[in-house]
């Protein structure tokens, strides 16, 4: 393929390296050396990638966690234009400001729907295994180019602005990545099997309503723990859904599967383990309470979980 | 009863739960849980380190979706994207925070149901457009907002994006979750038509919309109530 994911790994690596360099020279940052070290180590992960020996990469990850965990990652003072200047600029540029922002989804869709099978010679234009991500990368580059042209600035200013946003999110940037590592370790260590064993051995499944409730709540709880519905589904469907709901109560497997996966999603709305949906947005929107997004989602997730139990109970025979 | 299942790795889950309850730094919690899980599963330290490192490299595609749009979005913010979006929403007289977010919820859910999941997201839609517009809609009606209310509106904007995405995408037949469910059921000897699985997701998708739209109405009432109280308090002062 011509445009592969590796291109964007290098670009992100360079972005983090630039963050490190800008941070070490930033006198407004009270922890500039350790903060620069943190972003520098992360840059290595992207720039060297598979060339890093796994044990070294593991060491890098632990070092980053210790630097962040001890409070050594701090933001510098953000350099933003005064509000009056921004208002004047908004009036001057008007709706043209929306064009680069909308270019990201538009190019992503074009790439993943139209360009996905395009070949140049014998090679794919876009990496066929990562079409969406690669298309989104192209969309982001196009958006940056449009934004630079529209505002008459350089891509370097774009890098400075990206650093401002990364600084504001701080270590929350790496949390989803580290949680994914923990998820993989959980499955390697057999955590899923242990949970399924406990769930099927100790919960009463001898009435249809209880079995439905145990299945839906089990999906949600296991997702709360793992942070990912895809990890919960095989375990709970294999432990309760298929043997009990389908095997004993003769439920329609399609209904069981669909409502089961949605019950898992109710769990995703309630857990800090799903960091990229719940913790990162709180950081991105500069909320003081890191659990504010989860709290806003509870009044939707809990009634919906109850509704799922009833929907499964009444719809399982079609 | 003799069981061959090793229950000790459950300690990893306990470590995560304890860490979050004690409000320890989440990054430290994750590393501690990795250590506990590795010990409980009797992985040697060198092997554990290699497992972690291998997984860290393999999953580095995950943060890209957050990181790639930042340069463009940051640049547009510098030159007034938020201010433009806010001025636009303030001109629509019937706009309230709840109504605006309900429209976004519907658009996000329907688009995701047709597989267009990239038409939203926290870095490229919620931060630069949806949250500022939701705030501006409340300000245009009720004047300046208290900091608590402002944060609540932002959190609800992020929540709306999540709810719309989750309960829309699973209705799309080619979505990964449907493929995963089909694969797992097939492994158990059960053949299911993916279209039927997507269709049986619809009742939950509709319920999710109704419940969240109701919560957005409650947000509108809360904004009106708290702003009225502030105005009265302001006059008294």
Size (chain A), residues: 318
CB contact A177 to B (< 8 Å): yes
CB contact A259 to B (< 8 Å): yes
Do B52 and B153 fall within a single domain? no
Residue B152 placed within a domain: yes
Q: B203 to chain A nearest CA, in Å? A: 8
Residues of chain B with pLDDT under 70: 1-4, 173-175, 234-237
Do B220 and B108 fall within a single domain? yes
Partner A, chain B 182-221, Cβ-Cβ below 8 Å: 184-185, 188, 190, 192-193, 196-201, 203-205, 207-208, 211-212, 215, 218
Do B39 and B74 fall within a single domain? no
- What is the domain range of residue B15? 10-58
The predicted pLDDT at position B161 comes to 96
Sort out which chain B residues have CB atoms less than 8 A from A181's CB and list them. 30, 34, 52, 55-56, 59
Residue B3 placed within a domain: no
How many domains does the structure of chain B reveal?
A: 2
Q: B40 to chain A nearest CA, in Å? A: 8
Do B30 and B138 fall within a single domain? no
Residue B190 placed within a domain: yes
The ipTM (two decimal places) reads: 0.86
**Contact (CB, 8 A) for B185 and B177:** no
CA angle centred on A208, ends A207 and A209, rounded to 5°: 95
CB contact A140 to B (< 8 Å): yes
Do B33 and B112 fall within a single domain? no
Q: Which of B3, B69, B119 sits opposite A140 (nearest CB)?
A: B69
As a whole number, the mean pLDDT across chain B is 88
pLDDT tens-place values along chain A, 318 residues long:
678 889 999 999 999 999 999 999 999 999 999 999 999 999 999 999 999 999 999 999 999 999 999 999 998 888 888 889 999 999 999 889 989 988 888 888 888 778 877 888 878 888 877 787 888 899 999 999 999 999 999 999 999 999 999 998 889 899 888 988 888 888 788 887 787 788 777 777 778 899 999 999 999 998 998 788 887 888 888 888 888 899 889 999 999 999 999 999 999 999 988 888 999 999 999 999 989 999 999 999 999 999 999 999 999 886
Give residue A143's region: left, alpha or beta (phi > 0; psi -120 to 50).
Answer: alpha
Among A195, A209, A278, A279, smallest CA distance to A244 is for A209
Q: Which of A68, A86, A112 sits opposite B27 (nearest CB)?
A: A68
* Residue B85 to residue B81: CA distance in whole angstroms: 6
Do B87 and B47 fall within a single domain? no
The predicted pLDDT at position B1 comes to 42
Do B147 and B121 fall within a single domain? yes
Pick the residue of B15, B28, B55 with the most A CBs within 10 A to test the interface with A by mutation.
B55
Residue B2 placed within a domain: no
Do B165 and B225 fall within a single domain? yes
The predicted pLDDT at position A148 comes to 96
Do B123 and B152 fall within a single domain? yes
In the numeric block, the tokens 């720039």 are attached to A47
The predicted pLDDT at position B121 comes to 85
Do B175 and B80 fall within a single domain? yes
Do B51 and B151 fall within a single domain? no
Q: Label residue A300 exposed, middle or buried (CB < 10 Å: 0-12, 13-18, 19+).
A: buried
The predicted pLDDT at position A215 comes to 92
Residue B145 placed within a domain: yes
* Residue A305 to residue A210: CA distance in whole angstroms: 14
Do B52 and B76 fall within a single domain? no
Token digits of residue B104: 């976004």
The predicted pLDDT at position A254 comes to 92
Determine whether the interchain pair B41/A284 forms a contact, defined as Cβ–Cβ distance below 8 Å: no
């Amino acid at each position: 393929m011509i445009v592969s994911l590796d291109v964007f790994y290098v670009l992100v690596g360079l972005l983090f390296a630039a963050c490190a360099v800008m941070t070490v020279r930033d006198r407004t940052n009270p922890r500039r050396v350790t903060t620069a070290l943190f972003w520098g180590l992360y840059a290595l992960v992207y720039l060297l990638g598979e060339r890093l020996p796994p044990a070294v990469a593991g060491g890098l990850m632990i070092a980053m966690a210790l630097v962040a965990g001890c409070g050594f990652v701090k933001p510098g003072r953000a350099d933003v234009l005064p509000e009056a200047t921004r208002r004047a600029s908004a009036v001057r540029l008007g709706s043209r400001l929306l064009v680069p922002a909308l270019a990201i989804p538009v190019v992503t869709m074009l790439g993943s729907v139209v360009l996905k099978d395009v070949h140049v010679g014998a090679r794919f234009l876009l990496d066929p295994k990562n079409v969406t991500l690669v298309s989104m990368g192209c969309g982001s580059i196009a958006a940056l180019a449009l934004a630079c042209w529209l505002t008459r600035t350089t891509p370097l200013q774009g890098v400075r602005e990206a650093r401002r946003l990364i600084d504001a999110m701080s270590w929350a940037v790496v949390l989803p990545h580290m949680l994914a590592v923990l998820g993989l370790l959980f499955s390697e260590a057999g955590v899923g099997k242990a949970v399924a064993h406990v769930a099927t051995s100790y919960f009463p499944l001898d009435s249809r309503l209880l079995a439905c409730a145990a299945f839906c709540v089990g999906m949600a709880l296991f997702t709360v723990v793992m942070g990912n519905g895809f990890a919960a589904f095989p375990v709970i469907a294999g432990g309760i859904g298929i043997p009990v709901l389908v095997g004993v109560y003769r439920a329609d497997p399609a209904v069981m599967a669909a409502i089961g996966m949605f019950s898992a999603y109710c769990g995703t709305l309630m857990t800090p383990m799903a960091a990229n949906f719940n913790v990162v947005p709180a950081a991105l929107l500069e909320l003081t309470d890191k659990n504010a997004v989860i709290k806003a989602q509870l009044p939707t997730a809990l009634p919906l979980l109850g509704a799922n139990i009833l929907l499964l109970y009444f719809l399982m025979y079609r | 009863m003799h069981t061959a299942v090793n229950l000790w790795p459950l300690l990893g889950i306990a470590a995560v739960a304890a860490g979050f309850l004690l409000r320890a730094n989440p990054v430290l919690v994750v590393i501690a849980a990795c250590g506990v899980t590795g010990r409980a599963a009797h992985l040697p330290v060198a092997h554990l380190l290699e497992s972690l490192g291998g997984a860290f490299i393999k999953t580095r595609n995950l943060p890209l979706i957050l990181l790639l749009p930042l340069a463009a979005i940051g640049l547009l913010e510098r030159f007034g994207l938020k201010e433009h979006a806010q001025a636009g929403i303030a001109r629509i007289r019937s706009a309230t925070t709840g109504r605006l977010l309900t429209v976004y919820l519907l658009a996000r859910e329907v688009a995701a149901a047709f597989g267009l999941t990239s038409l939203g997201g926290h870095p490229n839609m919620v931060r630069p457009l949806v949250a500022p517009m939701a705030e501006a809609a409340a300000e245009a009606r009720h004047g300046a907002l208290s900091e608590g209310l402002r944060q609540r509106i932002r959190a609800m904007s992020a929540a709306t994006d999540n709810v719309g995405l989750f309960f829309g995408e699973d209705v799309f037949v080619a979505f990964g979750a449907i493929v995963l469910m089909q694969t797992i059921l097939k492994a158990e000897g059960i053949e299911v038509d993916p279209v039927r699985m997507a269709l049986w997701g619809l009742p939950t998708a509709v319920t999710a919309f109704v419940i969240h739209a109701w919560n957005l109405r409650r947000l509108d009432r809360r904004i009106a109530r708290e702003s009225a109280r502030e105005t009265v308090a302001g006059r008294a002062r």
